[in-house]
Amino acid sequence: MFEKLSRSWILVKASAAVLKEDKKLLVYPALSAVCTVIVAASFFVPAAFAGVFTRNMGDHLTPGRALLLFAFYLVQYSVIIFFNSALVAAALIRLRGGEPTLADGFNAAKARLPAILGYAAIAATVGMILRSLQERAGFIGRWVIGLIGMAWSLATFLVVPILVNSDVGPVDAIKHSAELLKRTWGENLLGNVGIGVVFGLLSVVVVLVGVLLVIPAIGSQSAVAIGAVCALIVLAVILIALVQSALQGIYAAAIYRYAEEGATSPGFDQALIANAFQPKQQDGIFRNR
């Protein structure tokens, strides 16, 4: 456990070093967050005023709400994948020794827009299916479906780097991502992809510190002090989320370079990346590339 946490922290620092060298990579997740909020508001505020969520509220989705939810998933996934593609494209340029501009990332994403939209449609469909199954399943069923969702996330881990770096469609990108993971994926994958865990802990620390600051602010009965503390907590959580998203994009780009090209990116130790994607052991035999 401690060895996995240590490797995870090293990976975080390696990704952070790249982000520190090119801070404009934060612009992509920031714009993505703003656009996703706008998309959510544009869908659900009118729907709420129209009473979509207060009529015929049963245990399952009605056809109308299902259609609305699918449309929301499709647009939301399209936005997220587009900005993530721009981030990964810029990160790949940086990891290969180049000096990417913001336009480089956006141009790369725009050039692959049809494939991105196709992948968004597939992701939205999978999301809707899993959502529908969860609503009909019991506790154990939901747990199993959660595992299926996790497996989908792992299988599509390298789809975005593949899309922006190869002239393939979304289906082929998904197949190739699964192939790369099957070929080089080992038990240490989750232990090494620890960026989410690290930043989850940071978020908890921020919230705990925020609570400790809010208590005296409430005691002072000062609306200004309470508002200032709450604003600081929100800003800190948003900043953590933006940095986490940027680091995950950088990490995905670095892993893609290793898995596809056999190249180690600057700042990423070759042995460490290799451990993150150890060959899978089957019947006592390691199947190497």
Q: Output the CA torsion 110→114→115→121 (10° steps).
A: 120
pLDDT single digits (tens) 186-219: 434 554 566 777 788 888 898 898 888 888 888 8
- The CA radius of gyration of the chain, in Å to the nearest whole number, is 21
Residue 282 has what pLDDT?
Answer: 41
Q: Which pair of tokens denotes residue 265?
A: 């990116």
Q: Is the model more confident about 147 or about 35?
A: 35
pLDDT single digits (tens) 160-190: 999 999 899 999 999 998 888 776 554 345 5
**How many Å apart are CA 244 and CA 267, to the nearest integer?**
18
SS3 state of residue 147: helix
Q: Is the model more confident about 264 or about 202?
A: 202
For 34, 211, 223, the CA distances from 230, given in Å and listed in that order, are 20, 9, 10
Q: Domains of the chain: which residue ranges?
A: 2-281
Kindly tell me if the per-residue pLDDT of 63 is higher than 60: yes
**What integer is the mean pLDDT of 70-97?**
93
